Amino acid sequence: MKIGIVGLPLSGKSTLFNALTGSNVDTGAFMTGKTDAHQSIVQVPDDRLEKLNTIFVPKKKTPAIIDYIDLAGLNPAEQKKGGFSDSFLGQVRTVDALLAVVRAFKDDNVPHPQETIDPKRDLDTIEADFIISDLSIVENRMQKLQKQMKSKKLDQDVREYALLEKCKASLENEQPLRLLHIAPEEEFMVRGYQFLTLKPLIIVVNISESDIANNTSLLEPFRERQNQALTTILAISAQIEMEISQLAEEEAATFRQDLGIKQSAMDVLIRTSYDLLGLVSFFTVGSDEVRAWTIRKNTAAPQAAGAIHTDFERGFIRAEIVHYNDFMKYENMVKCKADGLVRLEGKEYIVKDGDIINFRFAI
């Protein structure tokens, strides 16, 4: 799963990327004309995996992962009037979700491109460009469908055109498509367009160190957004989190305690990303490896097996399952089986977050 980090220049995108990934990319690179995206894989924190690792003591522990990509924003060298560059739009369409960084911190040494600090204005600017981009795709596709239907009117073209009409109305009303009700049977029709405003959105308000303890007022302008579908908002000091990420674990804990930070903002952000994408984890355990596997919610057992290997899905017979919470009563698989906590499930079973699974298959 890929999450693209977007934002205006000097908003702290690359600083947040460094904090998330432990990287050390140049935070001013995009201002010098660099347009190559920075990309890094991040482990999803999961206490359950750590406990299973302690119990089974395997040769290898493999956590779930998320891929974060730091994308160039409004590059002065390429910038269109009032919009993102074509190269940026091409990159951002490939991600599964967007992480928009908007600046709330003040720093006289880092002037804001718009001269004033207004995180809501900056988010509206980003979203407006995404809306324009999506609207252009909708209008172009509708024109092609109109030509097709003049010569031959297929039912699927009629349904697609009706859906695009709804999309067009929403976008012209300056509403992102994630707020539009799209029925499950309609989703496949728009999936290939990779609409930007249909992607889940994480809003990170990049705050100053002095605002860490009390950031309620800074989040107030985004109250309506917090309740929108496929949208969540967090207040994070990217600079402080980047500095913490460079410390040893004990020093980092002490630093957080001094600042009144109860838990790593990066852990919260990673888990938020995972949840917003509608992802869950199931586990496979043994002496060789304890591993967390990533699947979407409501995935059936055969398809979950396919996350491990296509042969597992193709030859699926049964899934031997015990939920993590049940397993932890005994911390022993033999005792769980004796108590009836381990069960066999078939092809219709929907895998739950926290299931520990042994797949039975035959090719």
CATH number at residue 351: 3.10.20.30
Burial environment of residue 356 by CB neighbours within 10 A (0 to 12, 13 to 18, 19 or more): buried
**CATH number of the domain to which 134 belongs:** 3.40.50.300
- Are 318 and 265 contained in the same domain? no
- Domain-located, residue 285: no
The three-state secondary structure class of 76 is: coil
Using pLDDT thresholds of 50, 70 and 90, give the confidence band for residue 112: confident
pLDDT tens column, 350-362: 999 999 999 999 9
196-223: average pLDDT: 90
**What is the value of pTM for the model shown?**
0.86
Q: Are 305 and 256 part of one and the same domain?
A: no
User: Quick one: 238 and 307 in the same domain?
Assistant: no
Asked if residue 283 has pLDDT above 80, the reply is yes
Task: List pLDDT tens digits, range 2-56.
Answer: 999 999 889 999 999 999 988 787 666 545 445 568 889 999 999 999 999 999 9
Q: Quick check: is 213 in a domain?
A: yes
pLDDT single digits (tens) 155-185: 999 999 999 999 999 999 999 999 999 988 8
Percent of the chain scoring above 90 in pLDDT: 64
Tell me if 283 is assigned to some domain: no
Token pair belonging to 351:
């895998």
User: Do 41 and 144 belong to one domain?
Assistant: yes
3-state secondary structure of 72: coil
- Average pLDDT of span 278-302: 96
- Specify if 148 maps to a domain: yes
- 323 falls within a domain: yes
Task: Specify if 69 maps to a domain.
Answer: yes
DSSP3 helix / strand / coil % (the chain, rounded to 5)? 45, 20, 35
How much is the pLDDT for 33?
47
| Phi, psi dihedral angles at 131 (to 5 degrees) | -65, -45
- Total domain count for the chain? 2
Sequence-distant (6+) residues with CB within 8 A of 140 are none
Residues of the domain holding 355: 298-361
Mean confidence (pLDDT) of the chain: 90
d(CA 252, CA 264): 9
Whether 289 is covered by a domain: the verdict is no
